[in-house]
Amino acid sequence: MKHSFIALIEDKCTSCMLCVRECPAWCIHLDSHTVDVTEEGARRPRKVNVLDSFEIDYSLCMYCGVCIDVCPFDALAWDEHRALVTTNREDMLLGIEDLGFSGSS
Amino acid sequence: MAQSFSWQSVEPSDWRSDIQVIIDDGFIYFDFLAGVDRENINGYPGTEVVAHLAKPDLSDSLFIFTQVFNELASITDLIPAANWHERECAEMFGITFNGGAAKPLLRHEDLGRPPLRKSTVLVARVLTPWPGGAEPEIKEDGRKVGNASRRRQRPPGVPENWLTP
Q: Domains for chain A: give ranges and CATH numbers.
A: 5-28+55-98 (3.30.70.3270)
pLDDT < 50 positions in chain A: 105
> For residue B119, which amino acid is it?
S
CA distance B93 to B152: 32
Residues B69 and B144 in one domain: no
Q: What is the pTM of this model?
A: 0.65
Chain A residue at shortest CA distance from B154? A21
CA distance A84 to B42: 42
Q: Taking the CB of residue B92, how many other CB atoms lie within 10 A of it? A: 19
**Sorting pLDDT into bands at 50, 70 and 90, what band is B147?**
low
CA distance A27 to A19: 10
Those residues with Cβ within 8 angstroms of residue A9's Cβ, 6 or more apart along the chain or in another chain: A74, A75, A76, A77, A101
Contact flag A33-B134 (C-beta cutoff 8 Å) = no
Domains in chain B, number: 2
Residues B81 and B134 in one domain: no
Alpha helices in chain B (DSSP H): 15-24, 82-93, 123-127
Q: For the segment B69-98, what is each residue's pLDDT rounded down to a tens digit?
A: 888 999 999 999 999 999 999 999 989 999
A32: which chain B residues are within 8 Å (Cβ-Cβ)? 136
Residues B85 and B13 in one domain: yes
B155: which chain A residues are within 8 Å (Cβ-Cβ)? 21, 26
Residues B44 and B84 in one domain: yes
- Could you give the ipTM of this predicted complex? 0.75
Question: What string of DSSP letters covers A25-80?
Answer: T--EEEEEEEEEE--TT-SSPEEEEEEEEEEEETTT-----HHHHH-TT--EEEE-
Residue A72 backbone phi and psi in degrees, to 5: -80, -10
A45: which chain B residues are within 8 Å (Cβ-Cβ)? none
Contact flag A34-B155 (C-beta cutoff 8 Å) = no
Name the DSSP letter for residue B153.
P
**Sorting pLDDT into bands at 50, 70 and 90, what band is B58?**
confident
Residue A90 backbone phi and psi in degrees, to 5: -70, -20
Q: Quick check: B3 pLDDT over 80?
A: no
Q: Which domain holds residue B138?
A: 121-158
Instruction: Judge whether B93 lies within some domain.
Output: yes
**Among candidates B132, B139, B145 on the partner chain, residue whose Cβ is nearest the Cβ of A17:** B132
Contact flag A20-B135 (C-beta cutoff 8 Å) = no
Question: What string of DSSP letters covers B80-106?
Answer: TTHHHHHHHHHHHH--EEETS----SS
- B132 in contact with chain A, both atoms CB, cutoff 8 A: yes
CA distance B4 to B64: 14
Residues B82 and B148 in one domain: no
Give the burial class of B50: count Cβ atoms within 10 A of its Cβ; 0-12 exposed, 13-18 middle, 19 or more buried: middle
- A33 in contact with chain B, both atoms CB, cutoff 8 A: yes
- B139 in contact with chain A, both atoms CB, cutoff 8 A: yes
Residues B24 and B83 in one domain: yes
A21: which chain B residues are within 8 Å (Cβ-Cβ)? 132, 153, 155-156
Residues B9 and B83 in one domain: yes
